[in-house]
Amino acid sequence: MTVDAVEEPFRTQFTVRLRAGDTLLGVALPGPCTFTSGNGVDVLWMGPDEYLVLAQPELSRESSDLEAELSRESSAVVDVSAQRNVVRLSGEHARDVLAHGCSIDLEVSPPGTCVQTLCARTGIVLMVRDEGFTILVRQSFSDYLTAWLADASLEYVS
């Protein structure tokens, strides 16, 4: 198999509004259309003063501790964990599968890129990683996108 799509359930997610500062949870803030990682979290740039903090599964059990710490560092924190599902897409043809329904030029998008875009007419947040892609999709569109990814992958599955 040269394409693998795996759902990553129970990922804690916080929308954070930050007016001042250079870090969140000890992780440097990313610039526009990028994300940074460290200390068990990814920090995604969502807008000029808005970030999405995506906790790794091992930290998701301690979401109240994360929220308390983020509240000390920022002007507003909202737990949006139930809003989006997380899918990890990897494999030799992961980029080709996404190209079927995503207008972002993934050939020139280096690891660390993070964009809000459409994939198969569904709003997603797309993170480009060294080992593939992380897709955040609204929960109500998750089944549709999963089915679309399976269909788009058929030609690459041996």
Domain that holds residue 54: 9-79
pTM of the model: 0.92
Domain limit, last residue, from 62, 79, 96: 79
Which H helix or E strand runs over 126? strand 122-129
Q: What are phi and psi of 74, to 5 degrees?
A: -135, 175
Give the C-alpha separation, 33 to 44, whole Å.
8
**33-83 tens-digit pLDDT:** 999 999 999 999 999 999 999 998 776 566 778 888 898 888 899 999 999
User: 6-21, pLDDT tens digit by residue?
Assistant: 998 888 999 999 878 8
Give the residues across from 27 on adjacent strands.
24
The CATH number covering residue 21 comes to 3.30.70.1520
Same domain? For 100 and 51 the reply is no
pLDDT interval class at 1 (50, 70, 90): low
